[in-house]
Chains A and B, each alone.
Chain A
């Protein structure tokens, strides 16, 4: 049974990585579009492109890793989520495709076109909304089952205030995380104009983000009371830490100090909230259909997967460090001198 917990931790960790790097990516797309429309593009677009061009493809792999690993460790999820998510996941992946390919067409192609920029900028905001729906569904209550056939209860989902709150939270978090990272990146690049704009956005999105998170947290009580009580009783300290890191990040950015630390605070804030949410949700992966203990793969495959995973990390971590060194921590590259 220990494999089930190792598996879900690994997967949750990769999902967290995806959320951070994808948020930076999606938010940046929206900021690029916004800057273009308000004629501020000369200020920030070159900065965003310098960061995004080399890394967007790597971002995508975190996501692939998550759902491939999910099916590998918990094959039952394929049956339930696979059936239920046909429409939401298809829409999400269509948006992802538009986002990824039009990003490439726009940025690697011979010239730029506003409609393409609009396509990937807007798709970037709809993706988190579509993906967040999956988390909502996993809380239970949106699935109907009759005669062995499972399907999504659409009406219920669309009318649910909880579902909408999660969607808004996802979209605003994207803008918040993205502006947080790009403030740091602009500061490193000594790009004053971009820095001013991004810092403004970060401070702008912070308060509504935290307000909606609290609303989501409270409305979880209506949606899935067991989950809510578990979060409040056993994991309250994680949510409290998350809030403290949020305040820390806001203060540091407001007084224009230590933007690197501020972004680490943002990651910790998101991390504590995300892992607190995940840990309190267990033991169900999909309430009440998939219990973590019953859904896990056979032990021989679990051991092999974990072994493969460890060996792969030995290759991947140095590679990731290398790419960060080249495109994030290399001062001259960030400043646009390379």
Chain B
């Protein structure tokens, strides 16, 4: 591999690892805050125990999230020095503010985790979760602003290969910023809800400690209800993104759907395979008009095809599979959580609420949501190829020329393997053989309920 490919590979690897922990980082604070809120309001020690145990596990994922985030922050300059020199002074504001939001979150998270018993009023501790949620969401917002800038650059003029007349706020609030941040935060919340639901389902299926059943049922109910709400939010965000791409980045949307000829009543293509030479799609399910509808809520809308773009400016065709997989995983989560909520609403389905198929379905939503996140990011990042900053700087011109890149790539790969394996090992051991009912009883004793 040459240095451009190596730099791309290393960046992709770092982000693929970081995004798992970052998603948990953005989604988790709201989860334990909701649990604590319910626990205090209903005076229910089970919810408080949920919040405590969730946040305890969170300390491990947050640590890995922090270190991988530091890595990507430095790698931006180490692997793409030309990009940072050229664009660093245009996107400095959101980068800077992301750090502040992260700072804010780190401070209050530490306080939250270590002050469970330090305040007389129970609500005081709950209130500390609010700055944590705000800090986490805002850091996601700001960092997405940086990524959005690379998709829809704004706020500068180009002169002799330099970006001049910079308007920081315009660059930050670029066209795709709001829609993409909404998508990022909604899917992070959705993923976290389903990951926790999967854990509850797993524990219910295994049923190791009979006394824990009620606790895990509570967890499942809470996370599934939150899950379906955030799934609907994510789908709305996804739909808005498609409409946005149709207007602003049509080559990306066309590549998602292998849409070559500009036409109205454009088909939505599900899976299949593509012969890149003849542009023939085989083995796919085509749904007429849906792509047009997706793009503009009207099946007669003309959707630009890839043939309108020069070959060297087209994204790689593999993004189609990422798109299909992302949507498929999202729909799967919607179906499972929808079915679960139905059994709560309609009394006659009640016996299905904790049936085996339902629990197995719930167990799969966690991995499915995480995969959707990964596919979604691969989709949007590769969909921007060959551009680093769309229309201004190509990836091929931005990579570092320094020696030692191969060694560095190998070192980071080893690091990520160690981090993932060890953090999984620690998390599993943290909760295996540690039944929740004991925590609940301890809590009751401390409060003097028993």
* Contact, CB under 8 Å: A300 / B166: yes
* CA distance in complex: A297, B64 (Å): 32
For A110, give its contact among B81, B106, B430 (CB under 8 Å).
B430
- Known A-B contacts A72-B89, A89-B78, A152-B402; A100 and B67 likewise in contact (beta carbons under 8 Å): yes
**A65 vs B90: C-alpha distance when bound (angstroms):** 17
Q: Chain B contacts of A305 at CB under 8 A?
A: 92-93, 96, 168
Q: A94-131: which have CB < 8 Å to B?
A: 94, 96-98, 100-105, 108-110
How many interface residues does B have (CB within 8 Å)? 76
B419: CB under 8 A from chain A?
yes
In the bound complex, how far is the Cα of B358 from the Cα of A23, in angstroms?
52
Contacts of A308 in B (CB 8 A): 93, 96-97, 100
Chain A residue numbers with a CB within 8 Å of B59 are 104, 108
Residues of B within 8 A of A86 (CB): 78-79, 400, 402-405, 408
Binds B, one of A30-38, A50-58, A156-164: A50-58
Dominant secondary structure of chain A at its interface with chain B: helix
Question: What are the residues of chain A within 8 A of B192 when measuring CB–CB?
Answer: none
- Report yes or no: B96 in contact with A68, Cβ–Cβ below 8 A: yes
B60 an interface residue at 8 Å Cβ cutoff? yes
Docked pose: A57 CA to B107 CA in angstroms: 8
User: Among A61, A71, A304, A326, which residue has the most Cβ atoms of chain B within 10 A?
Assistant: A71
A301 and B79 CA atoms in complex are apart in Å by 24
* B residues less than 8 Å from A110 (CB atoms): 426, 429-430, 434
Q: Is A214 an interface residue (CB 8 A)?
A: no
Q: Is A39 an interface residue (CB 8 A)?
A: no
In the bound complex, do residue B97 and residue A312 qualify as a contact, i.e. CB atoms below 8 Å apart? yes
A73 at interface by CB-CB < 8 Å: yes
Closest Cβ of chain B to A101, distance in Å, is 5
Q: Does A260 interact with chain B (Cβ within 8 Å)?
A: no
| Binary interface encoding of chain B residues 406-450 relative to chain A, with 1 for a CB under 8 A from any of its CBs, else 0 | 011001100100010011001001100010000000000000000
B84 in contact with A79 (CB, 8 Å): yes
Answer yes or no: A93 CB below 8 A from chain B CBs: yes
For A, the interface residue count at a CB cutoff of 8 angstroms equals 69
Stretch from B110-118, B176-184, B253-261 at the A interface: B110-118
Q: Is the CB of A101 within 8 A of B67?
A: yes
Instruction: Please determine whether B78 and A109 come into contact, CB atoms closer than 8 angstroms.
Output: no
Nearest CB in chain B: distance from A11 CB, A? 11
Cβ distance A201 to chain B, nearest Cβ, rounded Å: 26
Selecting from B69-77, B344-352, B385-393, the interface stretch reads B69-77
Known: A79-B81, A87-B408. A301 touches B89 (CB 8 A): yes
**CB of B82 within 8 A of chain A?**
yes
Q: A25 interface residue, CB < 8 Å from B?
A: no
In the bound assembly, the distance between CA atoms of A338 and B167 in angstroms comes to 50
- Interface flag for B202 (CB, 8 Å): no
For the complex, is B382 an interface residue (Cβ under 8 Å from A)? no
* Cβ–Cβ < 8 Å partners of A79 in chain B: 81-82, 84-85
Q: Which residues 169-193 in B have Cβ within 8 Å of A in the complex? A: 169
Measured between beta carbons, the chain B residues less than 8 angstroms from A58 are 103, 106-107, 110
CB distance from A251 to the nearest CB of B (A): 35
Which residues in A have their C-beta under 8 angstroms from that of B118? Answer: 326, 333, 338
Interface residue B102 (Cβ < 8 Å from any Cβ of A)? yes
Residue B369 interfacial (CB < 8 Å): no
Point out the residues of chain B lying under 8 angstroms from A54, CB to CB. Answer: 110-111, 113-114
With A and B bound together, what is the CA distance between A314 and B447 in angstroms? 37
* Cα–Cα distance between A323 and B109 once the two chains are bound (Å): 10
Could you tell me the distance between the alpha carbons of A94 and B434 in the complex, rounded to whole angstroms? 33
Chain A residues whose C-beta falls within 8 Å of the C-beta of B412 in the assembled complex: 90, 94
Q: A58-B103, A94-B412 are in contact. List 4 more A-B contacts (CB 8 A).
A: A57-B66, A101-B419, A149-B401, A319-B107
10 closest cross-chain pairs (CB), A and B = A72-B92, A104-B63, A82-B81, A78-B84, A75-B88, A82-B77, A79-B85, A97-B67, A297-B89, A86-B402
